[in-house]
């Protein structure tokens, strides 16, 4: 060791040797200062949606209560109240406006979270501030992830309250009662299932985790945003179109009085005697000779229905469906595996940051 190198080495005092890492509380404050604009934008978006749903929900619940309380149900006044309620099924009720919320949070909060510092190179300075790269990553990802998930969970409670008139408990038909023709939707309705219960918060966390990982892998903000939107959209379509219906084994029945609140997955006609699927051409050919037996003089329908006519000729319809009573089991299954996926993505993100070569 030369004299030059000896003089270049700083002497370490006992005080320097006992320095402690930066506390988590201070890192949380730094994270808030860096990302307060994005968090404020999310808060404004969710508050605006909450106000819209609150105002529209009050009108919706009032119209529903007035229609339910009206007697006699067959009167002209009651029909007007029912038509008023059914006519309120607008752009908020179909849920499409809410489907983009998790995607926007993942793209504009999750993706830039680490990608912006990796792209600009400021992460090199952050890692020298006595906090460490993996603690730096955890403080940012976990802190913001918990914040956006909690906000989504709170807003989903309001969403569920708004949609409550469309999902009356105990509905066994398309109507709330035989006298009151108010349409009741299935809790598995596409585009609405993942907005209620625990699913909305779970999807928001998953979108956030996808965005954070995309930012670490791509290390550029704009491409990470695009990748987050593409991956999240593909995952949402795959789950809604293929995976969700297989959470639990569906029920199969030959009965025709399937509750309208059930999620009908498939319906197919079978030939009772052979057990083979019936082709649509054979059923159509059989129905061509049916008018004389189904209708009397003047085209007046007889008591025999089309379904009874086909059953009399040896045809039966098998329906595969998920009952509405499985709503909460499906919610917990979907929320559980989305939470596990989010934790895995965050763990991979931390591992990649720890192994990253500056």
Q: What does the pLDDT look like over 181-220, one tens digit per residue?
A: 455 577 888 788 888 889 999 999 999 999 999 999 998 9
Summarize pLDDT for 45-90 with one digit per residue, the tens.
888 888 888 988 888 888 888 887 887 777 888 888 877 777 776 6
Confidence of residue 164 (pLDDT cuts 50, 70, 90): confident
Round to whole Å and give the CA distance between 279 and 285. Answer: 10
Round to whole Å and give the CA distance between 217 and 226. Answer: 13
Rg (CA), the chain: 29
Give me the residue label for tokens 């029945």.
253
Structure-block tokens of residue 116 = 């912006």
Using DSSP's 3-state secondary structure scheme, residue 82 falls into: helix
How big is the chain, counted in residues? 358
- Give whichever of 62-76, 82-96, 306-320, 324-338 has the largest mean pLDDT: 324-338
pLDDT at 294 (0 to 100): 55
Structure-block tokens of residue 80 = 């007007």
Angle 304-305-311 from CA coordinates, rounded to 5°: 90
pLDDT at 180 (0 to 100): 44
Tell me: pLDDT of 292 over 60. no
Round to whole Å and give the CA distance between 276 and 285. Answer: 17
Using DSSP's 3-state secondary structure scheme, residue 253 falls into: strand
Round to whole Å and give the CA distance between 231 and 107. Answer: 10
E-only strand ranges, the chain: 251-253, 263-271, 315-322
Share of the chain above pLDDT 90, in %: 24
Confidence of residue 26 (pLDDT cuts 50, 70, 90): low
CA dihedral over 338, 341, 347, 353, signed as positive or negative: negative
Tell me: pLDDT of 175 over 60. no
pLDDT at 102 (0 to 100): 92
| pTM given for the model | 0.78
Helix axes 199-218, 221-238, angle to 10 degrees: 140
Angle 271-273-275 from CA coordinates, rounded to 5°: 55
What is the dihedral angle through the alpha carbons of 342, 207, 47, 57, rounded to the nearest 10 degrees?
Answer: -90
Tell me: pLDDT of 15 over 60. no
Tell me: pLDDT of 357 over 60. no
């Amino acid at each position: 060791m030369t004299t030059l190198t000896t003089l270049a080495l700083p002497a370490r005092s006992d005080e320097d040797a006992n320095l402690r890492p930066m506390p988590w509380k201070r890192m949380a404050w730094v994270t808030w200062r860096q990302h307060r604009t994005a968090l404020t934008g999310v808060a404004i978006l969710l508050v605006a949606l909450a106000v819209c749903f609150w105002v529209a929900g009050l009108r919706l619940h009032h119209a529903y209560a007035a229609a339910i309380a009206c007697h006699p149900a067959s009167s002209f006044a009651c029909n007007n109240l029912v038509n008023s309620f059914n006519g309120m099924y607008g752009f908020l009720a179909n849920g499409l406006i809410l489907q983009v919320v998790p995607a926007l949070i993942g793209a504009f909060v999750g993706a830039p979270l680490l990608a912006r510092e990796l792209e600009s190179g400021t992460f090199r300075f952050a890692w020298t501030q006595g906090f460490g790269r993996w603690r730096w990553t955890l403080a940012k990802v976990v802190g913001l992830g918990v914040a956006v998930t909690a906000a989504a969970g709170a807003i989903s409670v309001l969403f569920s309250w708004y949609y409550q008139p469309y999902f009356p408990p105990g509905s066994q038909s398309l109507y709330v009662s035989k006298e009151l023709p108010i349409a009741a939707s299935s809790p598995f309705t596409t585009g609405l299932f993942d907005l209620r219960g625990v699913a909305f918060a779970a999807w928001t966390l998953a979108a956030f985790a996808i965005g954070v990982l995309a930012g670490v892998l791509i290390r550029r903000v704009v491409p990470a945003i695009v990748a987050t939107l593409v991956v999240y959209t593909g995952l949402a379509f795959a789950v809604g179109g293929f995976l969700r219906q297989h959470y639990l084994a569906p029920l199969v029945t030959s009965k025709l009085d399937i509750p309208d609140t059930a999620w009908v997955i498939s319906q197919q006609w079978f030939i009772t005697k052979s057990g083979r699927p019936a082709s649509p051409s054979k059923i159509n050919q059989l129905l061509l000779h049916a008018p004389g037996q189904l209708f009397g003089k003047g085209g007046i329908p007889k008591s025999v229905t089309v379904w009874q006519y086909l059953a009399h000729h040896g045809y039966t319809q098998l329906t595969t469906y998920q009952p509405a009573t499985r709503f909460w089991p499906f919610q917990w299954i979907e929320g559980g595996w989305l939470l596990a996926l989010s934790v895995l993505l965050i763990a991979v993100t931390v591992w990649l940051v720890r192994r990253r070569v500056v």
